[in-house]
Amino acid sequence: MPGGALVSAPLVEEGAKSSVISSGEKTVINYWFRHIWEPVSPIYPEMPMNAAILGASIPFIVSVQWPVSVAMIVSGIIFLLPLIRVNGDSKLEKSFKFYLEALQSVLPLVLVILLILVLKLSIILSIAAGILYVIFVKRVSFQKAIKSIDLKFLFKILFLMFSIFYLKYTVIDSNVITGVYKVLEIYNVPNFIILFFLPFIVGIMTGASTATFGVSYPLLLPIIRSVNIIPLNLFIAFVGGWLGIMLTPTHLCLSLSIEYFSAKFKETYIILIKNLAFVFLLSVLWMLVLKFSR
């Protein structure tokens, strides 16, 4: 879901009220933990797309990519969870009433998700139903609901989304990646470098999984597979693309999270790069395991 970080951001904001945590830390926590399942989840759109491009089954792709999810979870536990420092002055009474109120607060979100996934309603109608639920069931007046809309923030988000999507489709339509691939071939660059850096460059430029792998995998197919897919080569290509996607500010989830929490890029990136470096290190170790176990 492009920009889905805006769905989880209010939940992170609410959960962080009893903690001493900076805007940059909240940004990375929101951004990081909502992406840990993407390398292995079959419901993400790039998964069936990649299966079609590679001529492989989704379970096979998951069997290659799962170490990235594990590395992200471990990294989150080591570097991000310790950032959540509970404020000693805040006392939260976890009574039945507390849990009931917590459940009621997420019901509008659950309603929207169910209407989209189960009843197949459009996103606009589903969100409208969620708003009506808040107004009539939660008894929030229409005037108060309108006043709660930050138009300045809304226009900034819309402009940001337009800019990122415009850049993504410009990159795809320009065929610049094909040109980069041909240059790498001409200079006889080693295959493992091509496998890593071509998806990495596309990931940096587009910030989207479907664009990254949809553009780079067809070009890399002769290297990724001979008769059958070579797991090591596919893993290298995926890690390169994934790190590029997670690193770039053109990733809508990252940009929207930074905007939502009013975080500073420098603080956010110091935390983010530390986590990505850890994932890269574990991925390289797994590449060595794959190489020497063949």
44-87 tens-digit pLDDT: 888 888 998 898 998 999 999 999 999 999 999 999 999 887 66
Give whole-number Cα distances, 145 to 5, 135, 139, 162, in Å: 22, 8, 10, 26
Residue 156 clears pLDDT 70, i.e. is over it: no
SS3 86: strand
Q: Greater confidence, 123 or 260? A: 260
How confident is the model at residue 90, as a pLDDT?
43
Tell me if 237 sits within 8 A of 201, measured CB to CB. Answer: no
67 within 8 A of 78, measured Cβ to Cβ: no
pTM for the full model? 0.76
Task: Give the pair of three-digit tokens for residue 163.
Answer: 């800019």
What is the pLDDT averaged over residues 177-186?
A: 80
Spatial separation of the C-alpha atoms in residues 294 and 288, rounded to whole Å: 10
What's the mean pLDDT in 140-162? 62
Query: Which secondary-structure segment (H or E) carries 95?
Result: none
Answer with the residue of higher pLDDT: 113 or 20.
Answer: 20
Alpha-carbon gap, residue 61 to 70, rounded angstroms:
15
Going by pLDDT thresholds of 50, 70 and 90, the confidence category of residue 179 is confident
CB atoms under 10 Å from CB of 40, counted, come to 19
Give the alpha-carbon dihedral of 270, 69, 75, 240, to 10 degrees. -40
Choose between 82 and 8: higher pLDDT.
82
Residue whose tokens read 């790069």: 273
